[in-house]
């Protein structure tokens, strides 16, 4: 089973930098503690549908840090899996009683694995039933990738959009191990085996390789948002992964209207069409 630390360190993430630092600190402070409590639960909706339905609109929660699969994660841990989101969407699309889908988003982003496929899925089916991303409060990085794939994006006046970029954190512990009197010897078959691990200093070639992966994913992210929102790639690239509050996000083309979640949902109910500045 992959640990939480393995999901966070030494791999590219589409995650708001503040959240990345927060998670890094959390893991560092608790290194060595028993985290199995987070790895033994199953997400269960506890009702017939895994989402709330109001007036024929399915409200799909996209909250907390986003991960590839969350079947092992207790919902109280604050993680949402792309697999869970996709399952909810597929059910809502297949349900003839559902006439629209509201993605209720409040997330700093998360893992790369599984993200682009899910974003493409949202983009593909947004013509079958109207899909609005209603931010409550913000959608950054991977969460914004999903939100941008909807027909329309709404943001509260104090909410945020953007962070269209990629980040990776390498946590090297060799000096801490030296201070603790612990000597770790890494033996490998294949020079590239288990490079850029947390037990050895990060080598220049490994750093360059990781940066290459980050750059490639960053360009894919930019292309995704450009397609979804009808914005030139250079305009998104020039944002340099900045975040934008409320109306500024609308001005930058990352959102369509400024509205509270309740007001945005009411507008969606009233329109239930790809109008009002939406993107098809």
Catalytic residue status for 179: no
126 φ, ψ (degrees, to nearest 5): -70, -10
Q: Which of 70, 141, 148, 163 is catalytic?
A: 141
Rg of the chain taking only CA atoms, in angstroms: 20
Of the candidates 125, 38, 112, the residue with the CA atom closest to the CA atom of residue 86: 125
Cβ 85 vs Cβ 68: under 8 Å = no
Q: Is 173 left (phi over 0), alpha (psi -120 to 50) or beta?
A: alpha
Give the integer Cα–Cα distance in Å for 126 and 147: 12
Give the integer Cα–Cα distance in Å for 61 and 147: 12
| C-alpha distances in Å from residue 273, one per residue of 102, 129, 145, 276 | 13, 9, 22, 8
Catalytic residue status for 141: yes
Give the integer Cα–Cα distance in Å for 126 and 265: 17
Alpha helices in 9-164 (DSSP H): 17-29, 82-94, 115-125, 142-148
Q: Which of 31, 193, 212, 273 is catalytic?
A: 193
Catalytic residues: 141, 193
């Amino acid at each position: 089973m992959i640990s939480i630390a393995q999901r966070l360190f030494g791999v590219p993430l589409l995650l708001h930098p503040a959240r990345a630092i927060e998670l890094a600190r959390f893991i560092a402070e608790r290194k060595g503690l028993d985290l199995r409590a987070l790895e033994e639960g199953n997400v269960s909706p506890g009702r017939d549908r895994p989402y709330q339905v109001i007036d024929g609109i399915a409200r799909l929660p996209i909250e907390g840090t986003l991960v590839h699969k969350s079947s092992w994660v207790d919902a109280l841990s604050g993680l949402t899996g792309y697999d869970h989101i996709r399952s909810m969407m597929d059910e809502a699309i297949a349900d003839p009683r559902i006439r629209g889908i509201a993605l209720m988003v409040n997330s700093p982003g998360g893992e790369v694995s599984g993200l682009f496929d899910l974003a493409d899925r949202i983009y593909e089916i947004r013509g079958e039933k109207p899909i609005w991303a209603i931010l409550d409060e913000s959608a950054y990085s991977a969460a914004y990738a999903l939100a941008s794939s909807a027909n329309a994006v709404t943001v509260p006046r104090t909410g945020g959009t953007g962070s269209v970029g990629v980040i990776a954190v390498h946590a090297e512990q060799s000096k801490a191990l030296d201070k603790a009197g612990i000597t770790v010897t890494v033996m490998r078959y294949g020079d590239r085996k288990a490079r850029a691990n947390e037990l050895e200093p990060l080598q220049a070639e490994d750093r360059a390789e990781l940066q290459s992966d980050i750059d490639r994913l960053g360009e894919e992210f930019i292309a995704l948002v450009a397609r979804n929102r009808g914005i030139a790639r250079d305009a998104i690239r020039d944002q340099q992964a900045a975040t934008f509050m409320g109306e500024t996000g609308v001005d930058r083309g990352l959102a369509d209207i400024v509205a509270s979640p309740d007001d945005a949902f009411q507008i969606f109910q009233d329109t239930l069409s790809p109008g009002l500045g939406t993107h098809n």
